[in-house]
Chain A
Amino acid sequence: MKTIVVDPERCIGCLQCEFACAVEHSTMRDVLLALVEQPPPRRRVHVEAGPRAGTSFPNKCRHCDPAPCQLVCPTGAIHRERDHDAVLIDLMRCIACAMCAMVCPFDVVGYHAVGDRSVGRTVAIKCDACIDRLRAGEAPACAEACKTGALTFADPNDVAVAGRRRVTAAVLAATTTEPPTPVAAETVGAWRAIGEATAAAGLSGGAR
């Protein structure tokens, strides 16, 4: 089963996934029209700054199974869509009690007004795995927007195989003269090293 696989090493904090997510979840699903919608369309993927400059992590619903949010929802608003293995919220049933947010292991449930006028109030909002796109055979908007490979729509088992091959290469390199393949590109490594050095000197401002 395919899902959104995150490689935090490759996230450079450009926020393009957040933007694409908000547009995908707008009423008009158009970059320009989405900007003027009221209430504003909300992103469901959240890129928070890491402990060092140049590091960040795109956090979103992992569509757990069993899903703690689904287990605690008192109105049965949360259910699993078996065809795409997605945890979805029936907004009409949601009573915004925040039980799901409290139990979410990833803290990715938020409460916002939505564009759907039939709902007409603040409800629980989280990643819906771009279910409409999946049904149309497309990848989720965040994975499509990500150009660095931090977010990919893939089978985790396949990703693990690729990872094991990298590990194997590195292990063999350590016992032979073959240099290991760098995890991050040299350029990104040098860029992050400055962030590391700034933090090590105790000088980082901002959120860090």
Chain B
Amino acid sequence: MTAFERNGHSKDGIARLTMPEDAQQMLGLARSAGIETVWDRLAAQEPQCGYCSLGLSCRNCAMGPCRIDPFGQAPQKGVCGAGADLIVARNLGRAIAAGSSSHSDHGRDILEVFLATAKGETTGYRITDEAKLRRLAEEWGIQAGDRPVEEVARELAEAMFEDYGSAKTELGFVERAPDARRALWERLALTPRGIDREPVEMLHRTHMGVDSDYANVLLHGLRTSLADGWGGSMIATELSDVMFGTPSPRMSTVNLGTLKADYVNVALHGHNPLLSDVVVQAAADPELVALAKERGAAGINLVGLCCTGSELLMRKGVPMAGNHLIQELVIMTGALEAMVVDYQCIMPSVTDVAKCFHTRVISTFDKAKLPGAIHMPFDPHHGLEIGKAIIRQAIDAYSNRNPDRVRIPVEPVPMMSGFSVEAILGAIGGTPAPLVQAIADGTIRGAVGVVGCNNPKITQDYAHVMLTRRLIENDILVLVTGCAAVANGKAGQMVPAAAELAGPGLRALCTSLGIPPVLHMGSCVDNTRILVLAAALAKHLGVDISQLPLAGAAPEWYSEKAVAIGAYVVASGITTVLGVQPPIFGSRNVVNLLADGLDGVVGAKFAVEPDPEKAAVLIRRHIETKRRGLGLPYIEPDSIVAPTPAVPATVGA
């Protein structure tokens, strides 16, 4: 019997594709209405190309395209002479560059609006967290003191813009890493020099005839990812906090039940909080609320989707409709007036599904247009007006709603969110000391970031929820972002009462603090919060991040951004377990380097394990090994076995 069956799920039909009740009902509806979804398209794509799955196809030049025979018979080299190792490494390098660029361009958009706000050129934006601005400024060597906030903000913005260029030898936020890590990066030439520079250099290196050493390509891949994690993404997180507020714990709700049958429902989908923040402001406008009521609605209801949803949930408690694979299904409720999208992870199919309903898809960034959508370009100088125009579109669409087609499948589930590093440290008295103490005495064994996307190749949410459950049961604190957070929220694992699901140590800790055992730290750019927390713990203990009992997991990842995140997490010293295999298996050398050799280089490595039960064992063993390394009480790693946790003997240290 598989883990899945043990948990009362049938392996057949829709339950095999998605775990949450709301998604199952909506997918059933899609099937009976003949509306195509992501799962249908995956089935139509199968079998998927083995060369591409193995990373053995190369389209980088016009002497090609080339592919390497994985069975070692016919072609073993591309036309240029590149073998399997180099082709796999180049493809992975380009994926990291694309992921890093995506986060970093998001960061730049935030930075541009931040600077414009400092200059007083925007409407709908302001410096919300002035204290954080001043802390950041001091960190960046800018005298904050009691100088005017606009002046400090402008100088900080200008300093951060320099990180995007190529005149520097080290990014500003690199100083946050512990000394041992920085020395290691310096020694290996991994210190990121410019947020834009590293991905550009990766594109250069992977052009035909530049870097032909696969290991050298991969090392630069790590540097490229660090330019994201300690650069573009970190700027995005920190400046979003300054402008929209640093998150603090708050309750909200999650799943498709957050849509309200008698309201004008607007879903905010994508990743960047710039536009969605002004939409939130606009939705509270009394004139627009009155207009909605005039049209027969009870009011205006905003819900989040994906990481834009996480940004809003963390800071404003906006209810969360769902994660990546919900984006088509939310339209199936027949109760969605508008889906406002910014960018990243917006399936081009949403406009096709929307055509079957009254839903208006509204695209908002000139760099992310969708045929079939209404384009209302974002402009920070007129932020609030655009926000209001978008809400008006939704109210207009409400008149077209067919009440007979409204089907909101479930009641919403409560979820606690808002755990920024500041909030976590604040909750435990302002320093990492109590957390370090709890880890040291074994109250909690360690902490794991369960992050990443949904992927239709994996039963939706199941791997996120199951892995998280097994970790908290074994006293491991779980930090979640992005789709993983939403999955856990839907499963009811993110309320203080979920402490009951945790092992005795973690349960006691959570109960005393009134927090869930699974902490929502934000969107996927906010994985940087996990880096910052890890660095703070390491600095407090005077060790490197790689020595800490930490791990990362991306059980259902799909995107290039996730590849960049995985790479910067590992390059920062945190071993990471993937649930979906990356396209690298065509090169034994690349697999060996990433899954083994890297441990001796950066003190962390990758593993691939789709079964969450087994992944949990891998991670628990890893954490106990790290505890042993630090001289903390540990459980003999080999005594930890899958899938039912035995009672292992504790070995004192």
B71 and A194 form a contact (CB under 8 A): no
Question: Does A13 sit within 8 A of B, measured CB to CB?
Answer: yes
**Which of B53, B458, B459, B610 has the most A CB atoms < 10 Å from its CB?**
B610
**Could you tell me how many residues of chain A have their Cβ less than 8 Å away from some Cβ of chain B?**
36
Cβ < 8 Å to B, chain A residues 179-208: 184-188, 190-191, 194, 197-198, 200-208
Which residues of A are found within 8 Å of B72, using beta-carbon distances? 185
Which residues of B are found within 8 Å of A53, using beta-carbon distances? 48, 457
**Which of A53, A148, A202 has the most B CB atoms < 10 Å from its CB?**
A202
Cβ < 8 Å to A, chain B residues 1-41: 2-5, 9, 11, 16-17, 39
Q: Given A147-B74, A187-B70: A49 and B47 within 8 A (CB)?
A: yes
B67 and A206 form a contact (CB under 8 A): no
B2 and A201 form a contact (CB under 8 A): yes
Task: Give which listed residue, A56, A191, A203, contacts B458 with CB less than 8 A.
Answer: A203
A205 and B47 form a contact (CB under 8 A): no
Which residues of B are found within 8 Å of A190, using beta-carbon distances? 585, 588, 591
Which residues of A are found within 8 Å of B53, using beta-carbon distances? 12-13, 54, 191
Cβ < 8 Å to B, chain A residues 1-38: 10-15
A201 and B4 form a contact (CB under 8 A): yes
B71 and A184 form a contact (CB under 8 A): yes
What 1/0 mask marks residues of chain B from 71 to 101 whose CB sits below 8 Å from any chain A CB? 1111100000000100000000000000000
A147 and B586 form a contact (CB under 8 A): no
Q: Report the Cα distance A207→B75, complex, angstroms.
A: 31
Q: Given A148-B69, A203-B462: A187 and B586 within 8 A (CB)?
A: yes
Question: Does A39 sit within 8 A of B, measured CB to CB?
Answer: no
Which residues of A are found within 8 Å of B266, using beta-carbon distances? none
B16 and A205 form a contact (CB under 8 A): yes
Which residues of A are found within 8 Å of B581, using beta-carbon distances? 191, 194
Q: Given A14-B50, A186-B588, A187-B587: A203 and B71 within 8 A (CB)?
A: no
B47 and A13 form a contact (CB under 8 A): yes
**Which of B53, B75, B456 has the most A CB atoms < 10 Å from its CB?**
B53
Which residues of B are found within 8 Å of A56, using beta-carbon distances? 46-47, 50
B609 and A208 form a contact (CB under 8 A): no
Question: Does A125 sit within 8 A of B, measured CB to CB?
Answer: no
CB of B584, distance to nearest CB on chain A (Å)? 9
Question: Does B290 sit within 8 A of A, measured CB to CB?
Answer: no
Q: Report the Cα distance A188→B462, complex, angstroms.
A: 27
A203 and B611 form a contact (CB under 8 A): yes
CB of B553, distance to nearest CB on chain A (Å)? 14
Task: Give which listed residue, B16, B67, B591, contacts A147 with CB less than 8 A.
Answer: B67
A190's nearest neighbour on chain B, judged by CB, is B585
Cβ < 8 Å to A, chain B residues 296-339: none
Task: Give which listed residue, B67, B455, B456, B459, contacts A14 with CB less than 8 A.
Answer: B67
**Which of A148, A197, A206, A207 has the most B CB atoms < 10 Å from its CB?**
A206
Question: Does A149 sit within 8 A of B, measured CB to CB?
Answer: yes
B54 and A187 form a contact (CB under 8 A): yes
Question: Does B608 sit within 8 A of A, measured CB to CB?
Answer: yes
Question: Does B42 sit within 8 A of A, measured CB to CB?
Answer: yes
B17's nearest neighbour on chain A, judged by CB, is A205
Question: Does A48 sit within 8 A of B, measured CB to CB?
Answer: yes
B4 and A12 form a contact (CB under 8 A): no
Question: Does A74 sit within 8 A of B, measured CB to CB?
Answer: no
B610 and A203 form a contact (CB under 8 A): yes
Q: Given A188-B54, A194-B610: A148 and B47 within 8 A (CB)?
A: no
B42 and A187 form a contact (CB under 8 A): no
Question: Does B378 sit within 8 A of A, measured CB to CB?
Answer: no
Q: Given A201-B613, A202-B11, A206-B39: A49 and B75 within 8 A (CB)?
A: no
Which residues of A are found within 8 Å of B459, using beta-carbon distances? 202-203, 205
A148 and B71 form a contact (CB under 8 A): yes
Question: Does A47 sit within 8 A of B, measured CB to CB?
Answer: yes
Q: Given A147-B69, A185-B70: A206 and B456 within 8 A (CB)?
A: yes
Q: Report the Cα distance A136→B611, complex, angstroms.
A: 52
Q: Report the Cα distance A187→B459, complex, angstroms.
A: 26
Q: Report the Cα distance A49→B50, complex, angstroms.
A: 11
CB of A37, distance to nearest CB on chain B (Å)? 22
CB of B300, distance to nearest CB on chain A (Å)? 35
7 tightest A-B CB contacts, nearest first = A12-B50, A13-B47, A202-B4, A207-B43, A56-B47, A201-B611, A49-B46
Q: Which residues of A are at the interface with B, using a C-beta cutoff of 8 A?
A: 10-15, 47-50, 53-56, 147-149, 184-188, 190-191, 194, 197-198, 200-208
Q: Which residues of B are at the interface with A, using a C-beta cutoff of 8 A?
A: 2-5, 9, 11, 16-17, 39, 42-54, 67, 69-75, 84, 455-460, 462-463, 581, 585-588, 591, 608-614
Q: What are 12 of the A-B contact pairs (CB < 8 Å)?
A: A12-B70, A13-B48, A56-B46, A148-B71, A185-B72, A194-B610, A201-B612, A203-B4, A203-B611, A205-B16, A206-B39, A206-B45
For the complex with contacts A55-B47, A205-B455, 5 further pairs of A-B residues with Cβ separation under 8 Å are A14-B49, A148-B69, A185-B70, A194-B581, A201-B614
